[in-house]
């Protein structure tokens, strides 16, 4: 996630929105946004300074970066790809990030956070269409089947049980017995719960 090595909760507090950087913890009362929903370094109830138009667009871009855990270089390359595709650039950008292997593992509750998913992939516990893949940014396409290592069955099943109240999106089909995830179709914009206005990000890069 770039060069930032500080507390993840400070990122959410700075942006005044949950970015779900700590997985299941973000759904509990321990979440820092629930306890201290004000920017770090500010007093509770302090008046926030007005942001410039550039600052607003920069903040949206940064929120998307942190939400998916990507670097600035990856962000720029992905935007370039999205702008070259047919359709709405902002939506295309979100689809690129939603198709990442680490995101797919997180969306299906196989991993509790994208950070955990990246670690699982790098350690060689995931295959795509029968071939081992250790690159978290690997892009999953419609119809692809993600296979999970049976050596980590207890880990994966444990995560599913811990997050049993969180529904798996209809975009994916998870087979608990075979430990496989199939990417059925691309999600619609309303199905992508990203707390950003992607049009502002398009305007940021188009300036």
What would the pLDDT profile of 135-181 be if each residue is shown by its tens digit? 999 999 999 999 999 888 888 888 877 766 677 888 999 888 888 99
Can you give the pLDDT at residue 1? Answer: 43
Q: Spell out the SS3 assignment of the chain.
A: CCCCCCCHHHHHHHHCCCCCCCHHHHHCCCCHHHHCCCCCCCCCCCCCCCCCHHHHHHHHHHHHHHHHCCCHHHHHHHHHHHHHCCCCHHHHHHHHHHCEHHHHHHHCCCCCCHHHHHHHHHCCCEEECCEECCCCCCECCCCCEEEECHHHHHHHHHHHHHCCCCCCCCCEEEECCCCEEEECCCCCHHHCCCCCCHHHHHHHHHC
The tens-digit pLDDT sequence of the chain (207 residues) is: 445 556 666 666 566 566 666 555 555 655 656 556 656 656 565 566 677 899 889 989 988 998 898 899 999 999 999 999 999 999 999 999 999 999 999 998 888 888 899 999 999 999 999 999 999 999 999 999 999 998 888 888 888 777 666 778 889 998 888 889 999 999 999 999 888 899 999 999 988
């Amino acid at each position: 996630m770039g060069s930032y090595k500080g507390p993840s909760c400070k990122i959410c507090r700075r942006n005044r929105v949950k970015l779900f950087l700590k997985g299941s913890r973000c759904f509990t009362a321990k979440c820092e946004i629930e306890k201290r929903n004000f920017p770090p370094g500010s007093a509770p109830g302090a008046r926030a300074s007005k942001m410039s138009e550039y600052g607003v667009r920069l903040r949206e871009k940064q929120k998307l970066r942190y939400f998916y855990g990507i670097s600035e270089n990856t962000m720029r390359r992905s935007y370039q790809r999205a702008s070259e595709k047919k359709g709405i650039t902002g939506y295309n950008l979100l689809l690129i990030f939603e198709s990442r292997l680490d995101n797919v593992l997180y969306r299906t509750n196989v991993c509790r956070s994208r950070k955990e998913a990246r670690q699982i992939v790098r350690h060689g516990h995931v295959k795509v269409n029968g071939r081992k893949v250790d690159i978290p940014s690997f892009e999953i396409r419609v119809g692809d089947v993600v296979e999970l290592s049976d050596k980590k069955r207890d880990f994966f099943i444990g995560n599913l049980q811990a997050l049993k109240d969180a529904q798996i999106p209809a975009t994916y089909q998870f087979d608990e017995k075979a430990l496989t995830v199939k990417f059925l179709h691309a999600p619609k914009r309303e199905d992508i719960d990203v707390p950003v206005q992607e049009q502002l990000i398009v305007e940021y890069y188009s300036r």
